[in-house]
């Protein structure tokens, strides 16, 4: 085969796209009920936007970004995540002046050059939301509730919510220094990734997936013990609110968002229905990010969720999504003289909002009937020269084979009557 899709990318084929549409419709529906409005940002941005906001030291920026020079020599990157672009748009368009709290969501493709495996792609899709403008725990709790509402609405129950607080610029430095000192003592035994992280990002060492790292750090102090009064109050408030929303969670003191701009709440949703790539969604508060991107200091909180993973969970739990749409009517031409009328009528019906189909391959009547069956059309109308002359034809209901002679002038109203 001459051309194949690029490794780590996938076609969403016609037989599958209705599943995506359904999930996206649920996401939009849930988000709208929470009064979040859609924002659509470009899929490529200046590279520096991502390196600055996500951080030079992260895997995303260090190893995974699709970065290229365009023809004018500017460094461009395909977005690896959504938050940076949203914050850029927020600052650039002065959204703060319009509303004190900006609540936005996005749905779309993201790009990371990771090693492809089940549940991990190079072009994948996320839905996510950001609430910018409030330091209050209510917003953290609301956004977590909103993420969960999407899974619940899709009938997914097999998920677990983990939350943590990663502190702020006041309390975290003391913790970081303490942790660094302890980690340096055992540095040679740690995995190379963890060794690299000790200086810049020691909290990520506690989050390491490496078993040896995990057992070496099992007794190390966690950030919870170091939180300042403000962070600790904030974290208690988030927990109280989640409890009052009847959302189950566990506190995981090892859960971190890697960077210094992330503050206070961090959370992750995982699913037991997935394999090693079990993260459904992740998010948290980033009170220092707008500043980092040279905007006015503004607190924010957000999350992002993978759509492919969500669909995998739906597959595994056997949840059946609504079927793709089928034509309500298939008009079959009994002879060549009726073909033109059949197409013109199909188009007229479509203008009235009726999903109609006809044959475009000039096939025999028998083949057209087979096609109507394959397309799972609800009704078939067969018309030839005689029917056109008489102005009447049989409308056949495919499910039970019953038919009714109807006037060709009243197809639309008959369909609307019989199918409502």
Binding site for ligand AMP (CB under 6 A): 81, 112, 114, 119-121, 124, 126, 279-282, 304-306, 308-309
8 A C-beta contact, residue 276 and residue 309: no
Q: Decide whether 154 or 331 has the Cβ nearer to ligand AMP.
A: 154
Q: Decide whether 129 or 349 has the Cβ nearer to ligand AMP.
A: 129
Q: Decide whether 279 or 385 has the Cβ nearer to ligand AMP.
A: 279
Q: Which of 225, 255, 243 is nearest to 137 (CA)?
A: 243
Q: Decide whether 276 or 413 has the Cβ nearer to ligand AMP.
A: 276
- Helices 229-244 and 137-153 cross at an angle (nearest 10°) of 30
Task: Quote the least distance from Cβ 159 to ligand AMP, whole Å.
Answer: 11
Q: Decide whether 2 or 13 has the Cβ nearer to ligand AMP.
A: 13
Task: Quote the least distance from Cβ 330 to ligand AMP, whole Å.
Answer: 39
Q: Decide whether 269 or 372 has the Cβ nearer to ligand AMP.
A: 269
Task: Tell the residue number behind the tokens 């750090």, with chain if given.
Answer: 217
Token readout for 148 is 């969960």
Residues 6+ apart with CB under 8 A from 317: 155, 156, 158, 273
Task: Quote the least distance from Cβ 11 to ligand AMP, whole Å.
Answer: 15
CB atoms within 10 A of CB 295: 17
Of all residues in the shown chain, the one whose CB is closest to ligand AMP is 306
Dihedral sign, Cα of residue 199, residue 204, residue 209, residue 213: positive
Task: Quote the least distance from Cβ 245 to ligand AMP, whole Å.
Answer: 21
Phi, psi of 276 (to 5 degrees): -70, -30
CB atoms within 10 A of CB 323: 10
Q: Decide whether 5 or 402 has the Cβ nearer to ligand AMP.
A: 5
Token readout for 183 is 């980690």
Q: Decide whether 9 or 178 has the Cβ nearer to ligand AMP.
A: 9
Task: Quote the least distance from Cβ 52 to ligand AMP, whole Å.
Answer: 16
Q: Decide whether 120 or 363 has the Cβ nearer to ligand AMP.
A: 120
Q: Report how far apart the first and last C-alpha atoms of the chain are (Å, whole number).
A: 47
Q: Decide whether 111 or 330 has the Cβ nearer to ligand AMP.
A: 111
Measured torsion, CA atoms of residues 146, 151, 154, 156, in degrees rounded to the nearest 10: -150
CA 361 to chain centre: 38
Angstrom distance (rounded) from CA 198 to CA 190: 10
Task: Quote the least distance from Cβ 401 to ligand AMP, whole Å.
Answer: 46
Q: Decide whether 17 or 189 has the Cβ nearer to ligand AMP.
A: 17
Task: Quote the least distance from Cβ 400 to ligand AMP, whole Å.
Answer: 45
Q: b vs e for 261-279, b when ≥16 Cβ sit within 10 Å of the residue's Cβ?
A: bbbbbbbbbbbebbeebbe
The order of strands in the sheet holding 250-251 is: 37-38, 102-111, 123-132, 300-306, 279-285, 263-271, 159-165, 250-251
Phi, psi of 379 (to 5 degrees): -125, 155
Task: Quote the least distance from Cβ 126 to ligand AMP, whole Å.
Answer: 5
Task: Quote the least distance from Cβ 82 to ligand AMP, whole Å.
Answer: 8
Angstrom distance (rounded) from CA 230 to CA 170: 10
Task: Quote the least distance from Cβ 119 to ligand AMP, whole Å.
Answer: 6
Angstrom distance (rounded) from CA 132 to CA 299: 6
Angstrom distance (rounded) from CA 264 to CA 266: 7
Task: Quote the least distance from Cβ 16 to ligand AMP, whole Å.
Answer: 16
């Amino acid at each position: 085969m001459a051309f194949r899709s690029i490794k780590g990318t996938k076609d969403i084929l016609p037989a599958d796209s209705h599943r995506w549409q359904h999930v996206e419709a649920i996401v939009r529906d849930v988000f709208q009920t929470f009064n979040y409005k859609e924002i659509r940002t470009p899929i490529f941005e200046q590279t520096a936007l991502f390196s600055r906001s996500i951080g030079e030291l992260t895997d995303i920026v260090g190893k995974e970004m699709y970065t290229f020079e365009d023809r004018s020599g500017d460094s461009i990157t395909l977005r690896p995540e959504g938050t940076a672009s949203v914050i850029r748009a927020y600052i650039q368009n002065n959204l703060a002046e319009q509303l004190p709290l900006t609540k936005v969501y996005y749905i779309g493709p993201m790009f990371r050059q990771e090693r492809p495996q089940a549940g991990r792609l190079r072009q994948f899709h996320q839905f996510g939301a950001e609430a910018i403008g409030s330091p209050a725990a209510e917003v953290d709790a609301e956004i977590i509730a909103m993420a969960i509402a999407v899974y619940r609405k899709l009938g997914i129950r097999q998920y677990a919510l983990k939350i943590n607080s990663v502190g702020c610029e006041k309390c975290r430095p003391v913790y970081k220094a303490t942790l660094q000192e302890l980690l340096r003592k055992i540095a040679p035994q740690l995995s190379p990734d963890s060794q690299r992280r000790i200086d810049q990002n020691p909290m990520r060492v506690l989050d390491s997936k490496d078993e040896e790292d995990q057992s070496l750090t099992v007794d190390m102090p966690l950030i919870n013990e170091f939180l300042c009064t403000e962070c600790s109050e904030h974290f208690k408030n988030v927990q109280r609110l989640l409890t009052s929303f009847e959302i189950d969670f566990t506190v995981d003191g090892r859960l971190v968002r890697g960077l210094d701009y992330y503050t206070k709440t961090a959370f992750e949703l995982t699913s037991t229905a997935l394999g090693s790539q079990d993260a459904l969604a992740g998010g948290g508060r980033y009170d220092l990010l707008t500043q980092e991107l040279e905007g006015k200091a503004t607190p924010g909180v957000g999350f992002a969720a993978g759509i492919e993973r969500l669909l995998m969970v739906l597959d595994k739990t056997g949840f059946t999504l609504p079927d793709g749409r089928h034509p309500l009517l298939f008009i079959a031409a009994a002879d060549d003289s009726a073909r033109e009328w059949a197409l013109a009528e199909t188009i007229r019906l479509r203008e009235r909002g009726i999903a109609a189909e006809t044959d475009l391959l000039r096939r025999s009547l028998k083949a057209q009937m087979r096609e109507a069956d394959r397309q799972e059309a609800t009704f078939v109308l067969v018309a030839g020269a005689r029917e056109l002359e008489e102005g009447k034809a049989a409308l056949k209901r495919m499910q039970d084979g019953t038919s009714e002679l109807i006037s060709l002038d009243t197809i639309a109203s008959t369909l609307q009557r019989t199918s409502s």
